[in-house]
Structure 1
């Protein structure tokens, strides 16, 4: 097998080949390292590459297969986001303030992946403190979308999705507080899963944050299932984790299911390509024997205001900036803005935000009870320019300038962080005229992971899966109409 084909193997397929001895972990890892050397300089997906330690771990994995002691993820390369702690590793959060920060603890989700045999190949880029829907930082610069490098990859698990799309890792992890797993998954044509709150363990202090989710990104639904089966479950360090277990190997037949969808969630202007690609998936599900119906939602920009209030109040960025006035000149414009917003909040703002959350579910809850799943776009437009500031509100969709609250958050993911107990998977839906992929969110009833993943399996196998053939050859589109 050619090396450019090797780097796009799914984890599931790579494990099969490892087990039958037709491929060694060390061979696959070397192909991935070569790919990083070729592609990362123009994409900037990694803050650090651990080639030497990964090679040692891959040779140990070779030996485990030879001796019959391989673990469930033995020898699989994992890219870890730059806010996820691993003991002894530098974690920068994309900030100059933490350029030399070395952590003493390991995130419990990563710990489970490592204990299962995964090999950390490197650290992936993110916007500073995860506070943007695309990725540039004072410390690491601009991260670019491999499908069209003029555009961003989404955020904040930006490098994680780029590394997958460009064949620089086999699996990636991410965190999601407003769409940070799902947005880059959509922009880069891969899968990203926000499990329901409590399904996957968080690290301190996020164990008390229902809006924060740790989870997987991958190129196939089966790899999402594989990772979820390892990450999920009660953990002694996280009081919020639930005891209920999920059989992630179970795939249900969706024939006869009722599926609801909304193009705009009630208030988003939506790009024509995003809309058309969603409707293509709708027709695909109908062809598979599903009843698919458009349903109205009366949500409005108060949903955005509520999310901003809860996100800013938790101090996602402020928690890391101990002397704001002293250090603000070192921050990105968007991190500085988010901290400033948090300082202006009142208790009544938070009370109003929680009331909005309640009203949101009063509308969506009955829909989820009457349908097996709910679909909507992941983002309102495929992506934004790679170096665009989130504070630049001059965005057009379908030739019209959008309202400021949509320009600031052009992603349609954050409502489902407010409704944290709902499982949501972003799946690829097609390619836009700019060459950048589009995505659709599959939303399920609270804690009904398998129904969401079963719809995704049906779409992947029978309707649409991303064709990475151009990217396998290292071809990025630089011009667009």
Structure 2
């Protein structure tokens, strides 16, 4: 099979069951692809190929007609796990020299579920230090590059996951999202990335109590994201705030006829958005209109200064820990991490927790007013066409349509939906910018209405598919 490493998870499972493809063949293809492209993209900081091959052989037996052991829902699928997420007895460095010798003593609840469903963890993916950046390089792991244009980053913080999927070195990948870290690399790499509503997918303590924090699937197709999400979701004893009952997405997603969709490109004008991204977002919205949805541009005003202040108040305690933890050994820390700490602590100066909550309530209320009238909101994932790989963006900002955004975080439109954390958000591709880097759109659902975001994403994928043929894949 040509380009076997790009086969979707759903197609691979069907082929496994039909005995036209074996899990061993797929694992070998993915590992061979990694040998070819990893020296360039650097998406993995740790690999477990021999164990993965043995697990693939065991899955092959379960698919055999004479086997008494039924195959599992994800049986035999190569799955790359983000370095932030603990997997027992594997390295858990979080992209930091401070943790270079750390080995996880437990497995994150949702990774445990994926493995229990037959997913095979063949590699661990790179991330920026402590997962606190929209690009993907660190002193411990080096620079991770975007397969679509290796001069650019795949985004962050789930950058290795995004690069791996785009390059075809994994079938499934995991991500986490505290400020856009699933959606940003999904956008820059032309992927599907789902930020579930808070509590939908269980996390590990104490980060399960951070309402900005989410974990979720990153895939090349909407159906693959549904497949992963249905395994991941549901209450877990290790996460006291995980939601009951288990939410199951349907295998068949209805079309979008009759759905009312709001469109906001720049949240009232205070968010700079590149013209190509604007054009691609509006084209995606028009495609959904052609599929029968009612699509209207709305006057949604989310003040960027409110989001900057509210999110800084939220992140300042962690960034204070970063400063304290790195004191006296700053040379081991990534400069961009120390810079982000300085910026965010400065923005939160003089704030109280109550002020942060009041700002979050204002932002959430504004979004909710729109979602009360519409089934979902469509907006760009980022305003920028990309960040240069390896650039710390400390002594210069990001230029968007002639405006310099001093702190690169502010070029992302994702954080409002970490504040409005109960909204499910699906990133889907909308095209390519002139630099060859993909652009993406957020599909923001009403609180806990996961299925509508997937319906919309699947409808757009049917009209404008991605990764289905070689012409719609990176030329790495």
The 2-side partners of 1:321 and 1:356 are apart by 25
Task: Report if aligned partners of 1:422, 1:443 keep a CA contact under 8 Å in 2.
Answer: yes
SS in 2 for 1:90: coil
How far apart, CA to CA, are the structure 2 residues paired with 1:187 and 1:370?
Answer: 30
3-state SS in 1 of match to 2:338: helix
The 3 A distance-change label for structure 1 pair 18 and 136 is same
2:313 to 306, 309, 313: 309
Match of 2:260 among 241, 252, 258: 258
| Aligned-pair CA distance for 1:470 | 5.0
The one-character-per-residue Cα deviations of 1:240-275 (angstroms, maximum 9, x if unpaired) are 111033231251221011100100022211111101
Q: Partner of 1:40 in structure 2?
A: 38
Q: Distance in 2 between matches of 1:346 and 1:433?
A: 40
Deviation larger for 127-136 or 463-472:
463-472
Deviation string, structure 1 residues 347-367 (Cα, Å, up to 9, x no partner)? 734322211111112211121
The 2-side partners of 1:318 and 1:213 are apart by: 22
Q: Is 1:61 aligned with 2:62?
A: no
Q: Kindly tell me: are residues 108 and 320 of structure 1, through their superposed partners in 2, closer, same or farther at Cα, counting changes over 3 Å? A: farther
Aligned equivalents of 1:371 and 1:244: distance in 2?
26
Q: Is 1:289 matched up with 2:292?
A: yes
User: Does 1:377 pair with 2:377?
Assistant: no
Structure 1 consecutive aligned stretches of length 4 or more whose deviation exceeds 4 Å: 317-322, 340-347
Report if aligned partners of 1:145, 1:153 keep a CA contact under 8 Å in 2.
yes
Please say if residues 260 and 374 of structure 2, whose CA atoms lie closer than 8 Å, have aligned partners that are also in contact. Answer: yes
**Structural RMSD (CA):** 1.7
1:60-459 equivalence runs, <5 A? 60-66=58-64, 67=67, 68-249=69-250, 250-266=252-268, 267-300=270-303, 301-313=305-317, 315=318, 323-340=325-342, 345=348, 348-398=351-401, 400-405=402-407, 407-459=408-460
Corresponding residue SS for 1:326: coil
| CA deviation map 1:361-420 (0-9, x unaligned) | 22111210111110000010221111221434432222x132425x44311111110111
Q: Secondary structure at the match of 1:150?
A: coil
Superposition deviation, residue 127 in structure 1: 0.4
Measured in 2, the distance between the counterparts of 1:237 and 1:230 equals 16
Task: Provide structure 2 residue ranges, at least 5 long, that are not aligned to the other structure.
Answer: none
Query: CA offsets, 1:60-95, max 9 Å, x none?
Result: 111111115210000000000011001101111111
Q: Deviations over 1:435-475 (max 9, x none)?
A: 10000000011000001111111011124434661586x72
Between 335-344 and 444-453, report the one with greater CA deviation. 335-344
1:145-183 deviations in whole A, cap 9, x for unaligned? 100011111100000010000000000001100000000
Contact 1:321 1:327 in 2 (8 A): no
Q: TM-score, normalised by structure 2?
A: 0.95
* d(CA) in 1 for partners of 2:339, 2:374: 40
CA contact (8 A) 1:376 1:442 kept: yes
Structure 1 residues 42-62: Cα deviation after superposition (integer angstroms, max 9, x where no partner): 001000111111011110111
Between Structure 1 and Structure 2, how many residues are aligned?
469
Conservation of the 8 A alpha-carbon contact between 1:133 and 1:390: no
Secondary structure, in 3 states, of the residue corresponding to 1:438? strand
TM-score (norm 1): 0.94
- 1:338 shift after superposition: 3.6
Q: Determine the C-alpha separation between the residues in 1 that align with 2:352 and 2:471.
A: 48
Please give the alpha-carbon distance, in whole angstroms, between the structure 2 residues aligned to 1:292 and 1:55.
48
- Bigger Cα displacement from structure 2, 191-200 vs 338-347: 338-347
| Structure 1 range deviating more: 381-390 or 219-228 | 381-390
Match of residue 16 from structure 2 = 18
